[in-house]
Amino acid sequence: WRQSIDERAQEVASLDDALLKERAVDLQDVGHRVLRLLADTLEEEPGTFTMPVILVAEDLSPSDTARLDPAMILGICTAGGGPTSHTAIIARSLDIPAIVGAGPAVLHQPEDSLCILDGDAGNLYLEPGDGDLHLAHQVQQQWQALREAERLACYQPAITTDGQRIEVVANIGGASEAEQAVAAGAEGIGLLRSEFLFLQRAEPPSEDEQFIAYSAMTRALNGLPLIIRTLDIGGDKEVPYLSLPAEDNPFLGVRGIRLCLARSDLFRPQLRAIYRAAATGPVKIMFPMIATVEELRAARAIAEEVRVELGAAVVDIGIMIEVPSAVLMAPELAAHADFFSVGTNDLTQYVLAMDRGHPSLARQADALHPAVLRMIDMTVKAATAAGRWVGVCGGMAGEPKGAMILAGLGVAELSMSIPSVAAIKSRLRAQSLVDMQALAKRALACQSAAEVRAL
Ligand code: PEP
Ligand code: MG
């Protein structure tokens, strides 16, 4: 089995098409999972290390990353992938320092060699000397002291020095994370990636199972808001048991709301579970990947049918702004949506036409690119004119530079991975809105992401 899978994966990896090439990792992933079932144990299974290590790999699948034990994995460095791939998103939520897209050279290190991984700067230092190690330990201690100070202040709201409050909420993927989010200082959940409840299993969770999961979250949140994004399957999030047809361009294919509209057997039970859970706490619904007004109207109509069937109360319905057409149609979409949340991970890849998981392009697919910032600016202006609020739940919201520019652009709510909450709140408390507005204005006028970062 292993030999055949390896051979096939090598064949796929040697294809010219970059997108197909990347599927080699998926093939290996499936191969390993089958192997795990065939064999009782498998030494190489990620997460079964006997001592803490930095894991260096060609690439990791989202499901492998989700299984990693943060106590044993000090850091991750992958040759492929991009910073907004779902593998990187999961690593961030597990608080594992990671470097992705480092190129194949990193794979040539001897297995037991020593290295220093700096996830903030994206640097891997090979064969460090004693002086380097000493310095790294010092930096680590300073960093831990800073994080501890931020943690102690994590329940204080993010109010700027001139009195503007920015809501800081968390992105989660499962029921247990709601409690962790509150403990980390999040003021609610700005994005539940509900599709994560559908991964790593053999069939979709039933309506009742989903209701139990969503209401466990409202219980843990104890009155704080919960935004449940309806299924965003497709792209780099595959759900094998759905047996969806392979697509040449999965990121441009039947994903997100398109799949929900095509599969009412998935969409309706989920909406029923959400409306039932809304009776247990403040829940909002959010549709992913909206590209047209028709999609939003169709999704809303189904939601309303489900609500009436159940006799449930009305809840706010918002949309993700991830597709350039949604930005351009924001004034029209605002008439049918109670709020917007910008998904900068997808918006960046669609604005710049650069696959977010592409090994060589992902580096350039930077959400701080002025083209993306201008899109967000347009979205905020259209929403404000229609009396709607705008949040951001892409990776940019959890990056200090990104968070400041977003606050300056008039974004009201920032949603991020749990480990970023305390740090972003403390950064925002140290700034004035006026300064951040000035920063945002300068950023909008830049010519490149590098120029924006240099500000
Ligand atoms: C995004 O695209 O920015 C987003 C938050 O959704 P996801 O990362 O799950 O695609
Ligand atoms: Mg997205």
Each residue of 395-405: pLDDT tens digit?
999 999 999 99
CA 351 – CA 330 distance, rounded (Å): 15
Token pair recorded at residue 454? 């240099």
Determine the pLDDT at residue 121.
Answer: 87
Pick from 320, 352, 372 the residue to mutate for probing ligand 1's pocket: most ligand atoms within 8 Å of its CB: 320
Predicted confidence band of residue 42 (pLDDT cuts 50, 70, 90): low
Q: Is residue 393 annotated as part of the catalytic site, yes or no?
A: yes
Q: Is pLDDT at 410 greater than 80 in this prediction?
A: yes
Pick from 84, 239, 416 the residue to mutate for probing ligand 1's pocket: most ligand atoms within 8 Å of its CB: 84
Q: Which ligand is in closest contact with the Cα of 347?
A: 1
Catalytic residue, from 32, 77, 86, 358: name it.
86
Determine the pLDDT at residue 86.
Answer: 81
Q: Is 345 in the pocket of ligand 1 (CB under 6 A)?
A: yes
Predicted confidence band of residue 45 (pLDDT cuts 50, 70, 90): low
| Burial bucket for residue 51 (CB in 10 Å: 0-12, 13-18, 19+) | exposed
Mean pLDDT for the stretch of residues 99-115: 88
* Percentage of residues in the chain having pLDDT higher than 90: 70
Selection from 296, 346, 293, 295 nearest residue 324 by Cα: 346
Residue nearest to atom 8 of ligand 1 (CA): 345
Q: Is residue 32 annotated as part of the catalytic site, yes or no?
A: no
**Position with higher pLDDT, 433 vs 175:** 433
Provide the residue type at 309 as one letter. E
Residue nearest to atom 6 of ligand 1 (CA): 343
- Contact assessment for residue 23 and residue 236, using Cβ atoms and an 8 Å cutoff: no
Query: What's the gap in Å between 117 CA and the centre of ligand 1?
Result: 26
Determine the pLDDT at residue 211.
Answer: 98
CA 239 – CA 197 distance, rounded (Å): 11
Determine the pLDDT at residue 265.
Answer: 95
**Position with higher pLDDT, 278 vs 236:** 278
Most confident listed range (77-86, 99-108, 157-166, 230-239): 157-166
Mean pLDDT for the stretch of residues 178-199: 95
- Contact assessment for residue 83 and residue 94, using Cβ atoms and an 8 Å cutoff: no
Residue nearest to atom 10 of ligand 1 (CA): 346
Determine the pLDDT at residue 40.
Answer: 63
Selection from 34, 32, 27, 30 nearest residue 47 by Cα: 32
Token pair recorded at residue 338? 């109670």
Predicted confidence band of residue 41 (pLDDT cuts 50, 70, 90): low
* Percentage of residues in the chain having pLDDT higher than 70: 98
Determine the pLDDT at residue 67.
Answer: 83
Q: Walk across the sheet containing 53-57 and list its strands.
A: 53-57, 73-78, 98-99
Determine the pLDDT at residue 26.
Answer: 81
Tokens 């290996």 correspond to 28
pLDDT tens per residue across span 220-229: 999 999 999 9
Q: Is 195 in the pocket of ligand 1 (CB under 6 A)?
A: no
pTM for the full model? 0.85
Query: What's the gap in Å between 345 CA and the centre of ligand 1?
Result: 5
Q: Is pLDDT at 215 greater than 60 in this prediction?
A: yes
Residue nearest to atom 4 of ligand 1 (CA): 343
Q: Is pLDDT at 145 greater than 80 in this prediction?
A: yes
Inter-axis angle of helices 421-429 and 130-152, nearest 10: 70
The average confidence (pLDDT) of the chain is: 92
Determine the pLDDT at residue 373.
Answer: 98
User: Regarding beta strands 115-118 and 123-126, do their DSSP bridges make them parallel or antiparallel, or are they unpaired?
Assistant: antiparallel
Determine the pLDDT at residue 110.
Answer: 84
Q: Is pLDDT at 452 greater than 80 in this prediction?
A: yes
